[in-house]
Structure 1
Amino acid sequence: MEPQPVEDSAPVRGSRLGADDWLDAAVEVLLEDGIGGLKISRLSSRLGVTKGSFYWHFTDIATMKSELADHCRKVQAAAVTRLANLEELPPVERIEGMAGLISDPRRWRMEAAMRRWAETDGSIADSIAELDGQIFQISHQ
């Protein structure tokens, strides 16, 4: 199953939170304030739960950031796959499809947030460089 971009909506207060809810909240904070804004207290406040809830799903903030990075990589890789699938279309439809993929403002916000994160995390920088290479190859075929 193809990873989907995270949702903008928060879970209903009082509902049981899962790791994905925490990651969704982390994406929103990443988009708003960058990786430096990711704090357990901020995330728990955003979700309306205690900090203890965080520890049911993650050992520490570093573990959550690692899972967030994996999630973001999967979302970006899925976008690259969709781009590669456009290769089989006639030129005009291919350009229209490419325009649709790159015209989403949320995608650009995520792209910018990931590139800022890459400035302080080599593994994120490596992932972005790899994805950039794939996109370059696909777009120049």
Structure 2
Amino acid sequence: MSGKLFYFSALIVIICLANIKNVLGGATEEQMWASADLMKDVCLKKHPKITKEIAANIRNGIIPDDTDTKCYINCIMEMMQTIKKGKFLYDGALKQVDILLPEDYKDEYRTGITACKTAAVGVKNHCEAAYILLNCLRGKITKFVFP
């Protein structure tokens, strides 16, 4: 599958989940992970130095401190519409919580997002800002989910 087609497919899944939210009030855990896997696959193709093992480690909270990893994290967060050009999209992140997360994740995520709102303020490097933000969120959210 070409990169553009795969990216388009991931966008369709996110749009579908947004519509499911209007009916059901949020995604199921299965839908959440399916969406996460689509985003992961798109960003793995854009960042070939990130292996599936490294991505799995990030998901488990082992986050390497290197440029490739930081830019992979930025890619995922941009696809999630939680960061753009190194700026945390606080309102967008809260919307994604409502769309992509099951009910039992939402309160803790809202609290974590609020606590990390200013974690990367003033950081000029987009990838570094995403890395800082992800580490903050990882430290504040026990049911941590990352593609």
- Decide: shared fold, TM above 0.5: no
Structure (1 or 2) with the greater helix fraction: 1
Which band: TM-score by shorter chain? 0.3 to 0.5
TM-score, normalising length: structure 2: 0.32
Higher radius of gyration, 1 or 2: 1
TM-score, normalising length: structure 1: 0.33
